[in-house]
Structure 1
Amino acid sequence: MSTLSQEQVAAFRLLHTDVVDAVSAAVQGKRSVVELTVTCLFAGGHVLLEDVPGTGKTTLARSIAAALGGTSRRIQFTPDLLPADITGTAVFEPGTGEITFRPGPVFTHVLLADEINRAAAKTQSALLEVMAERTVTVDGIGHRVPDPFLVIATQNPIDLDGTYRLPEAQLDRFLARVSLGYPDAEHEIEVLRPGSEAGVVEHVREVTTPARVAELTVALRGVHVADPLLAYVRAIGAATRQEERLRLGASTRALRGLIAAAQTFAASQGRHYVVPSDVQRLAEPVLAHRLIPTRDAVLAGEDTAAIVAEVVQGVEAPRPVPA
C-alpha cells in the first residue's frame, strides 16, 4: 500500500470536514461524536451507541447517509425478530418457478440497529457475518452488501428489562462505542426553538458519494504508521491483557481497529502519518467496550474507560516519526 500524498490528505481533510459540518447541522451540539462516527465510517468500522431514547441516534444515522448520498435503513430489534428479518431470505416465485433472494434491510449504506440488545442472541449474531465480511450467505450463495456499509447499533443503558447482553464476539465487531448524551443548554434551546432545522434530516447537504467514500476507505490504509507506533499500540494491548482489574484484554482485532481509526483521524487532521496522540485520543472509544472487568473491579465500581485511560498513561509513547 503506497503512502498518501500531502495533496490527497488535504483533499480528504476538506471532505471529512464537509461531512461533519453537514451532519452537525442536524445533530447539533455533538460535533465530537459526529467526528468520531464519521471517522469510523471512513475507517470501515461500525459504531455502538449507548444512550437513552430521544437523544438523536436515528437522526445521526440518517444524516450520515444523506451527507454521503447513500441509503439508510432502520431495524427495531425485538425478542421475536428473526435472522431472516435482518439479512433477507430465499423466496419461491410461483410465476417463474424460480427461487430468488429477497434482500433484507442490511442491504443499505447506513444501518441503524435500534436497541440491538432486545433481540435474542441468534438474531444478534445474524449481523456478525455482515459486519465483518460485508456479505450475506443464503443457501450457500453470498450476496454483497453496498459499499460503504456502516452499522450504528444502539443500546439503552438504563432500561434493562427484556434485554439480552451482547456477547463479547459481537462487541468486538464494533470499532467504537460512543454516547450522544443530552445537548448543552445553548444547543438544547436551539433544538426546542420552533422552526429550528435541528433534527431535520431533509435539510442535510449531500457532500459526497458512496463510491467516493469507498475509494477513500481503501486509500486511507496508506496513511503511514511507523514501526515504533505499531510497537506502541501493541504495548497498550499487552498492558490491558496484564491488567489485574481485567479478565479479558484487547484482542488483536481491537488493536488493528485502533490503528485504522488512528490513520483516518490523522488524515482528517491534515497529516499523512500517525502520531501517538492519535492513538491516545481514540484508545478509550475503540478499546473500552471490548474489555471485561473482573468481579472485584465491578463491585468496586471500576469503569473500563477509566482503566483504558490509566493503561495508556502508563505505557511510554514513542517520539513521532513522520513518513
Structure 2
Amino acid sequence: MMPPQPASVPDYQQKIKQVFAEVGKVVVGQHYMLNRLLIGLFTGGHILLEGVPGLAKTLTISTLSKVLHLHFQRVQFTPDLLPSDLVGTMIYNQNQSEFEVKKGPIFANLVLADEVNRSPAKVQSALLEAMQEKQVTIGETTYPLDLPFLVLATQNPVEQEGTYPLPEAQVDRFMMKVYVDYLKKTDELEVMRRMANMSYVGEVSPVLTKEDIFGIRQQINQVQISETLEKYIIELVFATRKPAEYDLTEFQQYVQFGVSPRASIALHRAAKAVAFLDERDYVLPEDIKEVATDVLNHRILLNYEAEADGIRTQDLIEAILRKVPIS
C-alpha cells in the first residue's frame, strides 16, 4: 500500500481557508487573533493572549482545537494548582505492587493554559520545561511530549489580585504576545443575536491533520527571505537594545533590557508564515512589520522611569519601525 502523498500548496491554502470558515461558525470576528494562533501552530511557537474577560479568547482556542485532528487539553490555572496537576505524578498500583506514572494534561498536542498568571512559581517552572524542551520530568524519569506541541495561554490584564507575574524566562518562550481588543459594533451585534438564541449551537468539523500541519511547516520553511530582510530583522532587534544608536535617543533612558536572540528567530519564522498565509513564497518588508509588535512587545523590559512617564513598549516599537531603514 502506497503512503499518502503530501498535499500541494493550493490544497493547504484551501484547508486554511476552511479553518477560518469553521471557526467562524462559532466565533464572530477575532480574525486577527485566529491568524496569530495559526502562525504559532504552523511555526511551532507558543502564543500568549492578553485581553479583558469576554473577548472569546478561550472560546477561540477551544473551537480551533475541534477543527484540528489533535489531542487538546484545557488547564485552568489557579493559585492552588500543583506541578503534579499539570505534568502528572507517580501513583502506587496495589495490584502490581509498584509505582506507575499517571500523566497529566500537559501530555497533549494543544494545551490551553487558561489565566496562566494565576499559578505560583513551581507550576510555571514545570510549564517552562515543557515549552522549551518539549519534555517533562516525573520523578526521576523524563518523558518526551507528542509533537506538534503548543501552549496557548491566556491572561487577564485587569485583575491583579491573586496573580503572579510570569518569569521573564518564561515570557520569552512565547513566540508572540497578542493583545485581544474589543469587537467592532457589527460583530458584537452578531454575537448578541447568536447568544440571545439559547438553542444556537455552532457545530464545526475537523479540517487539518497532524500530517497537514507538518506539511505546512515544510512549505513555510521553503518561503524565501532575502539577505536584506534578514539584516533588517537584526537591525530591528538591536534597536531595542541600544535605541540611541538608531536615532532614538529619547528612549535610551527607559530601556532596561532589549529583546533576546529568540526575538530575531521568531520574527524570521513569523514573517515567513505571514507570507505563506498571504499565498506568497517570498517575504516582503510588510510581513516583518505586521508581526513585529506581537513578537517584540513582551520581550522589551522598560524601567520604572518609563512607567512614571507613561512610555509603553508599543511606543518604542512604533518608533523603531519608523526609524530603522531597510538597507
Tell me, yes or no, whether TM beats 0.5.
Answer: yes
Q: What is the CA distance between 1:176 and its match in structure 2?
A: 0.9
Is 1:265 matched with 2:290? no
Task: State the secondary structure of the residue aligned to 1:186.
Answer: helix
CA contact (8 A) 1:25 1:197 kept: no
The structure 1 residue matched to 2:258, chosen from 238, 241, 249, is 249
Q: Which residue of 2 aligns with 1:227?
A: 227
Q: What is the CA distance between 1:218 and its match in structure 2?
A: 4.2
Q: Deviations over 1:270-297 (max 9, x none)?
A: 1112221111110001110111112221
**Which residues in structure 2 correspond to 1:1-323 (within 5 Å)?**
8-194=8-194, 203-243=203-243, 244=252, 245-318=254-327
- Aligned-residue identity in percent: 36
Q: What is the CA distance between 1:201 and its match in structure 2?
A: 7.8
Q: Distance in 2 between matches of 1:315 and 1:201?
A: 49
Unpaired stretches in structure 1, ≥5 consecutive residues:
1-6, 319-323
Task: Report the TM-score when normalising by structure 1.
Answer: 0.90
Task: State the secondary structure of the residue aligned to 1:13.
Answer: helix
CA contact (8 A) 1:73 1:106 kept: yes
Q: Distance in 2 between matches of 1:308 and 1:266?
A: 21
Unpaired stretches in structure 2, ≥5 consecutive residues:
1-6, 244-251
Q: Distance in 2 between matches of 1:23 and 1:122?
A: 34
CA contact (8 A) 1:26 1:197 kept: no
Q: What is the CA distance between 1:194 and its match in structure 2?
A: 4.7
How many residues were matched structurally?
A: 311
Q: Post-superposition, which runs of at least 4 consecutive aligned residues in structure 1 deviate over 3 A?
A: 7-12, 194-198
CA contact (8 A) 2:23 2:60 kept: yes
Q: Distance in 1 between matches of 2:241 and 2:10?
A: 37
Q: Distance in 2 between matches of 1:14 and 1:309?
A: 34
CA contact (8 A) 1:56 1:180 kept: no
* Rg larger for: 2
Q: Distance in 2 between matches of 1:259 and 1:201?
A: 39
- The code of the aligned residue for 1:38 comes to L
Q: Distance in 1 between matches of 2:117 and 2:88?
A: 20
Q: Deviations over 1:243-287 (max 9, x none)?
A: 213211111011101111111111111111222111111000111
RMSD, aligned CA: 2.1
Are the structure 2 counterparts of residues 195 and 254 from structure 1 closer, same or farther at C-alpha, using a change threshold of 3 Å?
closer
Q: What is the CA distance between 1:202 and its match in structure 2?
A: 5.5
Q: Distance in 2 between matches of 1:130 and 1:12?
A: 29
Q: Distance in 1 between matches of 2:11 and 2:264?
A: 27
Q: Distance in 2 between matches of 1:24 and 1:252?
A: 36
CA contact (8 A) 1:75 1:112 kept: yes
Q: What is the CA distance between 1:183 and its match in structure 2?
A: 1.8
Q: What is the CA distance between 1:231 and its match in structure 2?
A: 0.9
CA contact (8 A) 1:74 1:114 kept: yes
Q: Distance in 2 between matches of 1:13 and 1:315?
A: 33
Q: Which residue of 1 aligns with 2:249?
A: none
- The code of the aligned residue for 2:288 comes to V
Are the structure 2 counterparts of residues 268 and 225 from structure 1 closer, same or farther at C-alpha, using a change threshold of 3 Å?
same
Q: Distance in 2 between matches of 1:117 and 1:230?
A: 34
Task: State the secondary structure of the residue aligned to 1:203.
Answer: coil
Q: What is the CA distance between 1:18 and its match in structure 2?
A: 2.1
Which fold has the larger relative contact order, with Cα–Cα distance below 8 Å and residues 6 or more apart in sequence? 1
Q: Which residue of 2 aligns with 1:4?
A: none
Are the structure 2 counterparts of residues 201 and 125 from structure 1 closer, same or farther at C-alpha, using a change threshold of 3 Å?
farther
Q: Distance in 2 between matches of 1:134 and 1:202?
A: 33
CA contact (8 A) 1:46 1:152 kept: yes
Q: Which residue of 1 aligns with 2:4?
A: none
CA contact (8 A) 1:111 1:151 kept: yes
